[in-house]
Amino acid sequence: MDIFDIKALLICALIFIPFEHLFAERPQKIFRKGLAVDLIYLLFNGFIIKLAVIVIAAGALGAAAMLVPQSITQAIDGQPVWLQVAEIIVITDIGVYWAHRAFHKIPALWKFHAVHHGIEDLDWLGAFHNHPVDAIATKAISLTPIFFLGFSEASIAVFFIIYLGHTLLVHSNLRIPFGPLKWLIASPQFHRWHHANQREAYDKNFAGQLPFLDMLFGTYNHTGDKVPEKFGVDDPIPATYFGQIGYPLLRCRKLSNRAVPSTEA
Ligand SMILES: [Zn+2]
C-alpha cells in the first residue's frame, strides 16, 4: 500500500469487514488462513512501496522539469480536477495492464507475481499481498507518466484515494452486481476471475480499474455470474512472509502452469 496510515486501515477495516460478512460471495472467516502474513505485507511492504513512490515521483518530476515544455504541464495542470483524475485513471491503468500482463507472460517475472496469486482465501486484505519487486515495478510503469506530464497534486491525491478504495474492493469477498457498469469499472467479480486457479481464468482480466482495456486488448474473461471453484496457484509458494520475498530468487523446482507459454490458439 503506498498512501497509507493506521487511520486509513481502521476506516477500511470498519467498511470491509462488516460488508464482507453481510454480502459475502463465499463463506469465509475473518481470521482466515494467511491473515497474519497479509498484515505484515500491509505494514512492512506498505512502507517500502511508499518510499519507492516518493523516489519515482522525485525522479520523474526532476526529469520533467528539464524535458517537458511548461506549456504542456501548465495545460494539463490547468484542467478541472475531475477531468485530470479521469485522465490519470486511464493512463495509469494502461500502465498497470501491460505491466501486469508482462508479469504473467515472462517466466522470471511471474515468480514475483505468483506471490500475489498465492492467496487462497481472497478478501480485501489480499490487495496488499504483493512482492515488493512486483508492486514497485508496476508503480514505476503506471505512475511515471503522471508525474512526468504535470498533473496537479490535488488530482493525484484524489486518484490515490480512489485507487486505494478500488483495489481493496476488487479483492474483496463481496457480491455486488455492477450491471452495465461492469465493462467500465472493475468489480470484485471481474478481478476474482483473474485470481481463479482454473484454466479458463489464466492470463485474463489484467486491468486494475478499467475492464474495457481487457476487451480492447483481447484478454477479457466472460464468466457470467459463475463463482470460481478455487483461488491460488500450483507454484510452490512458501507460507511465510520472508519465504515469499525470497521465493522468486530461488531456483524453480516446479514449472508453473501459468508462466509456460501456451501452445493453444
Ligand atoms: Zn495477476
Q: Which amino acid is at 63?
A: A
As a whole number, mean pLDDT of residues 210-223 equals: 92
| The pLDDT of residue 24 | 81
Quick check: is 256 in a domain? no
205: left (phi over 0), alpha (psi -120 to 50) or beta: left
Q: Which amino acid is at 33?
A: K
Quick check: is 264 in a domain? no
Quick check: is 222 in a domain? yes
Helices (H), the chain: 6-22, 35-40, 46-67, 70-77, 81-105, 107-117, 132-149, 153-171, 188-195, 212-216, 241-246
Of 239 and 255, the structure prediction assigns the larger pLDDT to: 239
Packing angle of the helix pair 153-171, 6-22 (nearest 10 deg): 40
Quick check: is 149 in a domain? yes
191 Cα to the center of ligand 1, angstroms: 9
As a whole number, mean pLDDT of residues 93-111 equals: 96
Quick check: is 263 in a domain? no
152 Cα to the center of ligand 1, angstroms: 30
Quick check: is 238 in a domain? yes
With a cut of 80, say whether residue 28 has pLDDT above it.
Answer: no
Quick check: is 234 in a domain? yes
Q: Residue 93: give the domain boundaries.
A: 6-24+31-249
Quick check: is 63 in a domain? yes
| The pLDDT of residue 23 | 82
Structural domains counted in the chain: 1
Q: How confident is the model at residue 228 (pLDDT cuts 50, 70, 90)?
A: confident
Of 45 and 97, the structure prediction assigns the larger pLDDT to: 97
206 Cα to the center of ligand 1, angstroms: 7
| The pLDDT of residue 18 | 87
With a cut of 80, say whether residue 64 has pLDDT above it.
Answer: yes
| The pLDDT of residue 1 | 43
194 Cα to the center of ligand 1, angstroms: 6
Q: What tens digit of pLDDT does each residue of 112-170 get?
A: 999 999 998 889 999 999 999 999 999 999 999 999 999 999 999 999 999 999 999 99
Q: Report percent pLDDT > 70 for the chain.
A: 92
| The pLDDT of residue 257 | 53
| The pLDDT of residue 2 | 43
109 Cα to the center of ligand 1, angstroms: 11
117 Cα to the center of ligand 1, angstroms: 6
72 Cα to the center of ligand 1, angstroms: 34
